[in-house]
Structure 1
Amino acid sequence: MSAPVLTAAAARVIDAVKVYGVDDTEVRALDGVSVDFPAARFTAIMGPSGSGKSTLMHCAAGLDSLTSGGAYIGDTELSGLDDRRLTLLRRDRIGFVFQAFNLLPTLTVAENITLPMDLAGARPDPEWLETLIDVVGLRDRLHHRPSELSGGQQQRVAVARAFAGQPDVVFADEPTGNLDSRSGEEVLNLLGRTVREMGRTVVMVTHDPVAAAHADEVIFLADGRLVDRMQNPTADSVLDRMKSLDVQEARKP
């Protein structure tokens, strides 16, 4: 029997604890979570409101710090970095897609895509950039400004910007939250294509079972703890699992 193939983790947290407040106001947003986000995979994070899913993403991405435990990008432990090195790591090795598109209105599509690299004084790989522009379907919009684009097109620009520097991992926080269902489906398909056709890594926080069904795996949080993982999810299987978590939440005293 052949040995199983192990996939390296693009990002991971080990025994992650995040506490907000003190004494009577203390809230444990993360309570000992350990999870890997494998390279070249699309992972969705789900859970009831207040489960810690956004906190997990923010700590894994170095946007927030853990109270205890470790967060890693590749083999780099984030708590060991000073502010400057953490800023450089986020710039060079992590991409972000948020619910708000965060495009600069005075710049063209092409300029928005390359903005992080321009600020860093870096030059994008021309072949990679050309391929990315075709994947996101923006070649005929490169000289337009954000106000001339639909919401779905603006989010595609944000996706292209996140991947332009070939980061180790892209974190997406409710990336379809401001989109209609058709535009949202286009963006989710795009995220999936970057993983399956370009070998990139995506970690997405979402509350939508239909969005989560685009992922290779869904991890479920409840009360700041990892409670389940689901491979090859469907919208129905994710919805059923979320309903069971909601029932458990409702039964709490």
Structure 2
Amino acid sequence: MTTAVAVPRAGGSGGRTAIAARARQVTKAYGNGETRVVALADVDVDIARGQFTAIMGPSGSGKSTLMHCLAGLDSLTSGRIWIGETEITKLKDKQLTRLRRDQIGFIFQAFNLLPTLNAIENITLPMDIAGRKPDKEWLHKVVGTVGLGDRLKHRPAQLSGGQQQRVAVARALAAKPEIIFGDEPTGNLDSRAGAEVLGFLRRSVDELGQTIVMVTHDPVAASYADRVLYLADGRIVDDMADPTAEAVLDRMQRFSSVVAAGDAQGRTW
């Protein structure tokens, strides 16, 4: 069984449990018989509240599958997952939809902004749909954190790619979610815009106490995190604290060599 347990850091817990999300013996398989492919194999992991966690691994390692399962976007073959104190694997579809809406934020490569709405309207859209009024003080703080104060009346077509992704980040933060999941959130940005967005994500953890889990293939992006989980063949094979871009790249290259050697000998992790 693969186990990775976070060490909670000070701050961001708000007096509640230090674990924002956890998975126990999570297995995800596709197909049956000879066509069966195991994307995740008995994975255990705790995600600490108030931390920035990056998930890395080669193509097909299971990193996006793990994020999708943790976020309730994909069902499990077996195992259990909790967001906060709620076991999401026991929820019915409507309950799960409500939990994703109220407790989880999402940031993807595609900005997913509505072109007819301006920035502030895109930011508050999920709450508007849910019939909830935004916390004005929190919204002001979020907008300030991501540096959008002078762009709120602009529509997406009037914003750069980096600014549009900042709107997407603010939208994810605005509802005070339990946890935010990002799937390659800087994948469509140039290095400068990507660094800006990653800096805002870092600030949202440090200054707003947010919890973020990000899938990435980029060592520089991973270096903004507090912790990096490495997956190979559906298993967590390493857990790095306080990463630097150089250390992440070295670890990735080492794992790539070991995985290639294992494949050549017919082994799996």
What's the TM-score once normalised by structure 2's chain length? 0.91
2:163 equivalent to 1:153: yes
Give the Cα separation in 2 of the matches to 1:132 and 1:76.
26
1:19 partner letter: A
Task: Name the counterpart of 2:89.
Answer: 79
What displacement does 1:109 show? 0.2
Give the Cα separation in 2 of the matches to 1:85 and 1:200.
23
Give the Cα separation in 1 of the matches to 2:23 and 2:110.
26
What displacement does 1:249 show? 2.2
Structure 1: give runs of 5+ residues left out of the alignment: none
1:5–1:84 Cα change, 3 Å: closer
Residues 50 and 209, structure 2, Cα contact 8 Å, conserved in 1:
yes
Task: Name the counterpart of 1:12.
Answer: 22
2:45 equivalent to 1:35: yes
Residues 48 and 245, structure 1, Cα contact 8 Å, conserved in 2:
no
Give the Cα separation in 1 of the matches to 2:254 and 2:19.
29
2:67 equivalent to 1:57: yes
Match of 1:190 among 197, 200, 209: 200
What displacement does 1:248 show? 1.8
Secondary structure in 1 matching 2:150:
helix
Residues 14 and 69, structure 1, Cα contact 8 Å, conserved in 2:
yes
* Count of residues in correspondence between the two structures: 250
1:222 partner letter: A
Give the Cα separation in 2 of the matches to 1:79 and 1:16.
10
Give the Cα separation in 2 of the matches to 1:174 and 1:21.
26
Secondary structure in 1 matching 2:45:
strand
2:98 equivalent to 1:97: no
Residues 8 and 49, structure 2, Cα contact 8 Å, conserved in 1:
no
Give the Cα separation in 1 of the matches to 2:23 and 2:93.
19
1:111 partner letter: E
2:40 partner letter: L
2:39 partner letter: A
Match of 2:228 among 218, 224, 227: 218
Residues 18 and 30, structure 1, Cα contact 8 Å, conserved in 2:
yes
Residues 44 and 219, structure 1, Cα contact 8 Å, conserved in 2:
yes
2:21 partner letter: A
CA offset digits 1:160-179 (Å, max 9, x no partner)? 00010000000000000000
Secondary structure in 1 matching 2:237:
strand
Residues 152 and 183, structure 1, Cα contact 8 Å, conserved in 2:
yes
Task: Name the counterpart of 2:3.
Answer: none
Give the Cα separation in 1 of the matches to 2:126 and 2:197.
21
Give the Cα separation in 2 of the matches to 1:97 and 1:42.
14
1:78 partner letter: I
Give the Cα separation in 1 of the matches to 2:220 and 2:22.
25
CA offset digits 1:230-253 (Å, max 9, x no partner)? 000000110011001111222213
Task: Name the counterpart of 1:133.
Answer: 143
How much identity, in percent, do the aligned residues show?
63
Give the Cα separation in 1 of the matches to 2:248 and 2:75.
29
Give the Cα separation in 2 of the matches to 1:65 and 1:160.
28
